[in-house]
């Protein structure tokens, strides 16, 4: 949708074959990126002079209750669903502040603080954290021209 309106879009994903499907669309550049890797995010930021919209939509759904969630499941889910947004925002927000404008869109879910979902303990927890992160960034930077909002599908 952004590229159809003339925006320059840089699509990122850890899966290069999925990204290549986007190359057929005009105005879209692709970059392989693991959003859990700070160094990769910082390297991408060096390539980008201006950023008007940052969409944080990487995510992972762990299935199970708290009793079925091992520590590595918890850590992986929180790393992908929450820490990656922290890293992306922390890296790209200074560019937006310098521009005195920017929009950050974070993907959460109704399986968060909105309603409980069976067998989605760590997923729901991570998406509730995304809502908290979004509200904090929005409150902290609205006066500097930065908007931060959350989408909660489901």
Active site residues per annotation: 123
Closest by CA to 54, choosing from 21, 101, 6, is 101
Task: State how far the Cα of 128 lies from the Cα of 26, in Å rounded to an integer.
Answer: 35
Specify whether the CB–CB gap between 70 and 115 falls below 8 A: no
Closest by CA to 48, choosing from 33, 61, 63, 60, is 33
Closest by CA to 76, choosing from 63, 89, 67, 88, is 63
Specify whether the CB–CB gap between 95 and 124 falls below 8 A: no
């Amino acid at each position: 949708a952004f590229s159809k309106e003339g925006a320059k879009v840089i699509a990122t994903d850890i899966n290069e074959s999925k990204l290549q499907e986007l190359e057929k669309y005009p105005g879209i550049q692709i970059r392989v990126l693991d959003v859990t890797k700070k160094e990769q995010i910082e390297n991408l930021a060096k390539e980008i002079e201006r950023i008007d919209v940052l969409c944080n939509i990487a995510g992972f759904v762990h299935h199970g209750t708290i009793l079925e969630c091992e520590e590595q499941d918890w850590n992986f889910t929180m790393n992908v669903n929450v820490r990656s947004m922290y890293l992306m925002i922390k890296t790209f927000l200074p560019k937006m502040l310098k521009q005195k404008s920017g929009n950050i869109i974070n993907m959460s879910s109704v399986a968060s603080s909105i309603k409980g979902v069976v067998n989605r303990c760590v997923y729901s927890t991570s998406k509730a954290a995304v809502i908290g992160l979004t509200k904090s960034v929005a409150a902290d930077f609205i006066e500097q021209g930065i908007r931060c909002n959350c989408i909660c599908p489901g």
